[in-house]
A = this chain, B = another copy of it.
Amino acid sequence: MSDAVSPLAPAQFPSLPPLAGIRLASHACGIRYQGRTDLLVVEMAPGTAVAGVYTRSLTRSAPVDWCRQAQIGGRARVLIVNSGNANAFTGKAGIASVERTVAGAVKTFGCAENEVFVASTGTIGVTLPDDKITAVLDQVKPKLADDCWAEAARAIMTTDTFPKGATRTARIDGITVTINGFAKGAGMIAPDMATMLSYVFTDAALPADLLQTLLSKGVEGSFNAITVDSDTSTSDTLMLFATGQAKHAPVTDPADPRLKDFRAKLFDLLKDLAHQVVKDGEGATKFVEVTVTGAASTRAAKRIALSIANSPLVKTAIAGEDANWGRVVMAVGKSGEKADRDKLSIRIGGIEVAHDGEVVPGYDEAPVTAHMKGSHIVIETDVGVGRSKATVWTCDLTHAYIDINGSYRT
């Protein structure tokens, strides 16, 4: 692991404004890392509503199990995230760690157990030294502030090379609300099972079930549309908290037209964070956008797009700046979804290179070659059987990925 920042990183962490009802603090408790923060504590105003989307892995971690259960209550007061240890594949000891951490939060913050949410990211299979967390909660509480979003994003990093954040404002019924979010780790791409974690906060006054509807929908075009290496973490977590401090009129129906702007801005923020995760993919040198059109259904379009985006042959070709459309054809074919070989067309950087299942004779290679040398690669394919489409994002597969993931743990 080098200290080099991804070449795809944004110039700087965005300026996230204070958000009514949210206070954050980070702390160095020495769980695994030295000389950096590894604990994030977020306190939320009473009445904060919560929604969450979690890994579908069947070997998910104890903290994920906890959050799924606690979320049923619909309320959140405290979020505790540590980096350096994932508390995954730790058996009964892992469950006990979560219970002690939650008990510590209840004691310090005076809230209910099911208002406490926890997450852990880092090495797996090692018992979490939760005493290092619970021992400092009383110290951390006075440090809580409303202006330390960048520090929060940094505290949860593992092998990330830059902190990831985004902010948007939206209007609900004439009132301006804020949405702030941060994220870490490109899914399962990091060594030793690091994890994708993302937390989004808003001062909007929206009930938990409505938040859940929005989040479940929003994740489809963002975090569920990115892939680095097709691997899935045991701990992936995306949560949305709404403090309800904004003074707009109540909105309870997800179809309420007054939600239109909020929904758009939330989805845009989720996509922004998801793209940042891909841009920090291990060894990534190119950001790749794959769009499939002409599919039989949206689900089919997405499966075909992911088949292309997950193909090691496609990803190594992109790393080599090779406009190898043959590998795109192959990936369409192996997806298992309906496609018409003899109507297939492919565009790279907007230039049609294949049409009706054959190479376009004498297509202009110069702009395609120039496009492949850039850092934002666009691949479009029409599979010729329907009208549905989908877009997913990934990165290239380079030597650095092998270096990072092939190294000894010890």
Instruction: Spell out A's residues near B (CB within 8 Å).
Output: 55-60, 88-91, 93, 123-126, 188-189, 192-193, 229-234, 310-313, 316-317, 319-322, 324-327, 329-339, 341-342, 344, 354, 356-359, 397-399, 401-402, 405-409
Contact = CB atoms under 8 A, between A and B. Distances in A.
A333 B234 contact: yes
A367 B324 CA distance: 43
Which 5 A/B pairs are nearest by Cβ-Cβ distance? A59-B333, A320-B406, A57-B333, A232-B334, A316-B405
A320 B341 CA distance: 39
A358 B327 contact: no
Contacts of A90: 358
19 contacts: A56-B334, A57-B333, A58-B337, A58-B341, A59-B332, A59-B333, A60-B341, A88-B326, A89-B341, A89-B344, A91-B357, A124-B329, A125-B326, A229-B312, A230-B230, A316-B405, A316-B406, A398-B402, A399-B402
Contact of A332 (B58, B313, B342, B401): B58
B334 A192 contact: no
Contacts of A408: 320-322
Contacts of A316: 401-402, 405-406
- Chain A at the B interface: SS class: loop
Nearest to A283: B402
A366 B128 CA distance: 25
A55 B334 CA distance: 9
B359 A402 contact: no
Contacts of A91: 342, 356-358
Contacts of A333: 55, 57-60, 232, 234
A398 to B, nearest CB: 7
A249 B62 CA distance: 63
A195 to B, nearest CB: 10
Nearest to A327: B193
Contacts of A230: 230, 310-312
Contacts of A312: 229-231, 312, 397, 401, 405
A320 B407 contact: yes
A330 B188 contact: yes
Nearest to A359: B125
A326 to B, nearest CB: 4
Given A89-B357, A193-B326, A321-B408, 12 more contacts: A58-B333, A58-B341, A59-B333, A88-B326, A91-B358, A188-B313, A231-B330, A232-B330, A316-B402, A322-B406, A397-B406, A402-B402
Contact of A234 (B320, B329, B354): B329
Given A188-B330, A405-B312, A341 B59 contact: yes
A354 to B, nearest CB: 7
A203 B354 CA distance: 45
Contacts of A337: 58
A237 B56 CA distance: 35
B59 A330 contact: yes
A243 to B, nearest CB: 33
